[in-house]
Amino acid sequence: MAGSGESARTTAASPPGPPPGFGEGAPPDNALHALGFEYTRITGSEVLGRLAVTETCCQPFKILNGGVSALMAESTASIGGYMASGYRRVAGVQLSINHLKPARLGDRIEAKANPIQVGRNVQVWEVQIWLLDPATSEHKDLVSSARVTLLTNLSTPEEMKIYEKGIKKYAKL
């Protein structure tokens, strides 16, 4: 890019902005959305969401990949922590997850995140991932149990404040 040196350096140094269209209804978590995860409840005291276990989510043995469970745990806890902190930026600093029973290809699962401790600087959330009964959609078997620790005393860059608008839109599910 000869002749554009100054503008190229300025552009490269700019902080990234929010995802395109986020404040207009884009999903709260792009990675989970790409897997088909759907949030059903978002508050500062509970976050719920469901996922159909597809081939994209599975290991070669047609069992839910443990990394998908970890992603569900950290994402649901982080969104709940973001709301519970008054829309301050959060960062996961510890994730511990136990995989208790398999979820198989074709199963539907639900993540349920609840705070254990909501402090000014640190929050601790418990996330349970349940296998859903196909006939009733009730919790059947506990698939995974996780504990997520979040740092919550981070300032939110101005260009990311639009995220709050998007989360509030989803919180009215």
Mean of per-residue pLDDT scores for the chain = 85
**Given this model, what pLDDT does residue 17 score?**
39
CA dihedral of residues 155, 117, 112, 60 (deg, nearest 10): 80
Residues 37-49 pLDDT 10s: 999 999 999 999 9
Locate tokens 């100054």: which residue? 6
Calculate ∠ Cα 109-32-78, nearest 5°.
Answer: 95
Q: Tell me if residue 110 is catalytic.
A: no
Q: Would you list the domain boundaries of the chain?
A: 30-171
Q: Per mean pLDDT, which range of 11-15, 29-33, 93-97, 151-155 is the poorest?
A: 11-15
pLDDT given for residue 129 in this prediction: 98
How far, in Å, CA of 43 to CA of 162, rounded?
18
Q: Closest by alpha carbon to 71, among 105, 36, 101, 45?
A: 36
Residue 173 — very low, low, confident or very high, per pLDDT cuts 50/70/90?
Answer: low
Mean pLDDT for 108-133 is: 97
3.40.50.300, 1.10.8.50, 3.10.129.10, 1.10.10.10: which CATH number matches 30-171?
Answer: 3.10.129.10
Q: Which residues contact 41 (CB under 8 A, 6 or more apart)?
A: 47, 48, 49, 173
Write down the pLDDT at residue 148: 98
Asked if the model's pLDDT at residue 159 lies above 90, the reply is no
Q: Which of 38, 74, 126, 138 is catalytic?
A: 74
Q: Are 112 and 51 in contact (CB under 8 A)?
A: no
For residue range 84-107, list pLDDT tens digits in order: 998 889 999 999 999 999 999 999
**Cα distance between residue 138 and residue 70, in whole Å:** 22
